[in-house]
Structure 1
Amino acid sequence: MTEDAALVGEIEALGERLSLARASIERRFIGQDRVVGLVLSALLCGGHALLIGLPGLGKTRLVDTLSTVMGLKGNRIQFTPDLMPADILGSEVLETAADGSRAFRFIEGPVFCQLLMADEINRASPRTQSALLQAMQEREVTIAGQHRPLGAPFHVLATQNPIEQEGTYPLPEAQLDRFLVQVDVDYPDRAAERDILLATTGVEEAQSEQVFTDAELLAAQTVLRRMPVGEAVLEMILDLVRACRPGEPEAGAQVGESVAWGPGPRAAQALMLTVRARALLDGRLAPSAEDVAAMARPVLSHRMALNFAARARGESLSGLIDNVAAQVTRVEAAA
């Protein structure tokens, strides 16, 4: 069997396992197929996800279900203004042994896990938010001069309430850029909400089953990075990211007039990975232009911002990204 044929077999087998995982998740998290796909994409890419949605839409339930289905050790932190970095990372305590000797012992904080839910992350102070920066980027923390590695794999799924701004601290751009995707969790449609009522208000609820182990998820992340990406899709990703930066030759008039700052190279890296994940979840062997357009908003919306004039005109960042993505994919398809 050739190397290419072996890779095709691995991709197809992984796609079947992912279909089982998706079905298991959707037994408890109903009617949010797009959200499930984006969060699974983040895990497959080895990244983190920022979930933005109103209270009561099942964000906590989703993370709990993911922990079960993907076989990951999960922890949850409820962020509050008085939360301290040590409450996340852990701390050293002085202990006295039976012989009277004293020594420091490190007690791990909740960040030492594989799937961390940072609930209402913008309620914590900037000092506490920064405690996650090193963990999210380097998969380790430094405490008392010692580097302590985190679990493998390690993923952060953070939530934000988009309407509650009192007593919150907006995440700085440096930390937002650490999230692979931003996932907007909307209300379910009527049929899905009916299914939710029937599934969750009876005597027993449907339970999700484990489909992956942590080792299998790590192997899946390796398979995804081996997935081929065509030259046309690669150029489309570059064109899209560069077209969203004001001042670049690829940027159009709307971007130049409306965007305060654009996405950096990490956005292109994120697109390169997430288009593969979307194709894999759909059972395809390689990503297409449709995947680039579909992942543009989740990857770019938290990595760029409108200027004051554009906001005053009532322009939408998501609408601008959709317009640029449609233009880029249309031009590439014509070429």
Structure 2
Amino acid sequence: MGRMVVAGVLGCMATLAAAQMVKPGALPDSDRDGLSDPLEAELLKQFQPRWMIGKEDCSVRPAQFTAGIMIPTVVGDDGTIYGQASPYRGQQEEVELHFYHLWRQDCGRMGHALDAEHIAVLVRRESPDGGTPRWRALYWYTAAHEETVCDASQIARAPTVEAEDEGATVWISPGKHASFLSEELCSHGCGGDRCEDMDRMKAGEVVNLGELSRPADDAIWVASPRWSLADKMRRSDFPEDRIVRLERLPESDVAWANPAKRPAQAAIYGGNSAVNGIATGGHSTDTALVLANSSTGRAIEKAQHNTGNALTKSYKNVVKALGGAASSTGKALGIEDGKSKKAPE
């Protein structure tokens, strides 16, 4: 009887091992997301952004982290870029790529250790006239102060930023490390970002993190609660409503990913204290101006007009909600009586 039990257990183990083996001729898929490892590496290489970073950034360059340790531990500030490739909505023909620039520290006014930031792109496999398949980008997303009242994240069609077949050029604000699709946009958050004295960073091959449930190369630090990296890895930056809103705008436009927060940011930008502005005006204006601001969700035209254009139609509502703060904001952004000024040449 004992021998039969042992034989049965061994048989089950052998069956399980066989099921987990890669089929002959199949390409490896380490994170088991349906995309082969070689394909993920190819896409991360093709669409890696061109990185513009501050020459005197307090954290120098994006950091490399030690494998096998749950607490994110910096090996060196060597410009390492990490990546993730996931099927978009379970489809194999569309893939969402995330590029993570992870920093030793955030050096803003309310700085902190560890800073996880990222850029995303949605790509699609095309086979023109039945020819050789190729991958092309559809949309780009850059994260800037996500999940805060100062959220200035952007989304754009790939042709708008001239990045259909290769990586987009992105500007990383020194110290805060927010990501922007143009140098001009860098100064249109709550006032704390400036992309000045920038230099292109030489980046090596992207290090694939795999999936959050199956991190590659023992990168278990991705799930650490000490930063927001896990949240960024588990969600899509291209929800349907965001894409629909973008497609309603002219092709030249870069859109705010979360336009409902723009009036609150205007009050902060125009006030004397950013911190006080967040405390007194942030939440009280979001709900009141969501509809008005969503209808004017453009961020900036490619022609580099002042972002005051995005607030023109909703300015009267901002005045009612914010009173004097909105008035000073209008002057700061060049908006008075429903009119806007172009940015200086």
In which range does the TM-score fall when normalised by the shorter chain? under 0.3
TM-score by length of structure 1 reads 0.24
Structure with the greater alpha carbon radius of gyration:
2
Higher RCO structure (Cα 8 Å, ≥6 apart): 1
